[in-house]
Each structure stands twice: as C-alpha cells, then as structure tokens.
C-alpha cells in the first residue's frame, strides 16, 4: 500500500476515541496500515501526559505524543517527557483576578506538570464522569504550590463559547484561552498551541507540515489545522473547526478517521 502523507496527527477526545474512551477495531486497523505504509501516527491532545499514558499503552503506541495542548512532548515507548512548558503561576493568578472582575466568580481546576501530574479540582468545578483521575481540594491555595501546565475554568452561567470569548477579551494579552471540549475552557501560556508541540515533535521525526494530515473536533485544533497540509474535522466537530477544515468526515463514533485513511491508502502517490 502507498500513503500520500508522512505524518498522521490525531486528537484524542471526540476524534480518535469514542465516547467510551476506546478506539474502534477498524480505526486501529487503518492506523496499522498507515504505519506499515511508512507514515508515523502522532497523538496530539489537550490532555496532560498523566491523562494520556493509559490510552497510549492500550494502543501499544510507542512513538511521540503531544500532550497538554502542546506543552508536553512525550516519548511513549520510553515513558519520559522530552519537553514540558509550564504556565507562569503569578501571571495566571493575575489573569484569573482580572477575568473574575469582569464576569464574577469562577470554578477552577489545575493540571500539574510532570509525568504523574495530578489534576486538582476546586469547589464547584464540574468534573466529567469517567476514568480520568482528579483530586478534590477545598482550599484553592493548594493548587498553586507546584508547577502547572494549565488552569481549567468554568462559570455558573456563561456557556463555553461565551466564557472563552469573555476570557480572551479580558486577559488575551496575558495568557491564551482555548475551548477544548464540553465544559473544558483552559488558560495556557501565551502563544502555546497544539501546533507548537506538533512542530517540535515533527522536527524530531524529520517530518514537515506539508507532509501532515491532521484530525480534530474542537477549536483548540484550529492551530494544528493551520500548520498541517490537510485538516480533517469530525462530523461531531465544533462549527469553528469545521469552518477552517479542508474536509469533514464521519463522527468519532462512526470511524471517521478510518474512512479518510482507507481512502488515502487507495490514492496513488504522485511522484
């Protein structure tokens, strides 16, 4: 088989993973065929390494992964962090204070840096049900005692889109703000995107943006689509991502990634 790209970059939640946190047999087979044809598969996720490792281990994945919205480049085969960018905690605290002055009190969680970095969840923050571990804390001061990759924020009344917009307007010059999923609005180091980490990982692999096809479902995937040669949005994707995608495939529940990869494997490679 031939394949027209050297790198396949996939988001996890809402993209590679189905709602039950598994990867379908068909998608696994398509990724195996792609790697057998000489391309590399790289996971590019908003999840921290601590929330990504078990998925990669289940896949038998031993390559590089980009985690934490681009903050972390992780070598799955060696179980070690190659790069990790942290959020300036003083700056993040200032940004939160400025934002709360505009929209009122926020519920908050934080993701700590490192291979085993815990996610600490403060009072009122709504955690998604599932297998991802989190530590509940009553004193939010505890969240700031160790290096962080990101801060998660929620508002009691504003929806995700409105909170993201309000946060960008209030503190966009201090930090970056992204929407990464339902109920998941994040504060990140200024200038950090999935494209940041993906470009670092691709350089290590000797692969260029022009050699890359990327799959995603949320606005935090927009920079990755801008970097890659071809961006494919899932049918379940946010409208903002669909608007910039080169192609829209089926949903994560309907083997959307596999459908595109299978077609590409049938496409003759131009010399």
Mean pLDDT of 119-127: 93
Residue 258: closest CA among 3, 60, 33: 33
List the one residue out of 190, 193, 164 whose CA is nearest residue 99.
164
Is the distance from CB of 96 to CB of 187 less than 8 angstroms?
A: yes
Q: What is the percent of the chain with per-residue pLDDT over 70, rounded to a whole number? A: 97
pLDDT(129) > 80: no
pLDDT score at 271: 45
Please tell me the distance from the alpha carbon of residue 162 to that of residue 186, in angstroms, as a whole number. 13
pLDDT the model gives residue 269: 59
- The pLDDT tens digits of the residues spanning 72-120 come to 999 999 999 999 999 999 999 999 999 999 999 999 999 999 999 999 9
Q: How far apart are CA 254 and CA 89, in angstroms?
A: 41
């Amino acid at each position: 088989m031939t394949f027209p790209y050297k790198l396949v970059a996939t988001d996890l939640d809402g993209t590679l993973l189905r709602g039950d946190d598994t990867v379908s047999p068909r998608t696994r087979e398509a990724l195996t065929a792609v790697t057998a044809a000489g391309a590399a598969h790289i996971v590019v996720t908003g999840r921290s390494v601590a929330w990504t490792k078990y998925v990669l281990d289940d896949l038998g994945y031993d390559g590089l992964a980009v985690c934490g919205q681009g903050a972390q480049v992780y070598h799955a085969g060696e179980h070690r962090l190659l790069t990790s960018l942290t959020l300036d905690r003083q700056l993040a605290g200032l940004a939160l204070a400025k934002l709360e002055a505009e929209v009122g009190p926020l519920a908050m969680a934080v993701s700590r840096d490192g291979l085993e970095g815990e996610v600490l969840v403060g009072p009122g923050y709504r955690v998604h049900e599932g297998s991802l571990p989190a530590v509940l804390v009553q004193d939010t001061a505890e969240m700031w005692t160790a290096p962080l990759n990101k801060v998660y924020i929620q508002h009691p009344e504003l929806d995700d889109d409105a909170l993201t917009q309000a946060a960008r307007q209030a503190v966009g010059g201090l930090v970056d703000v992204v929407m990464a999923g339902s109920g998941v609005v994040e504060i990140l180091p200024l200038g950090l995107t999935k494209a940041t980490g993906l470009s670092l990982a691709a350089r290590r692999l000797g692969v260029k943006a022009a050699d890359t096809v990327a799959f995603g479902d949320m606005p935090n995937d927009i920079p990755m689509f801008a970097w890659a040669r071809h961006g494919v949005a899932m049918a379940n994707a946010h409208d903002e991502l669909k608007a910039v995608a080169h192609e829209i495939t089926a949903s994560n529940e309907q083997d959307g990634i596999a459908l595109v990869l299978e077609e590409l494997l049938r496409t003759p490679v131009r010399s």
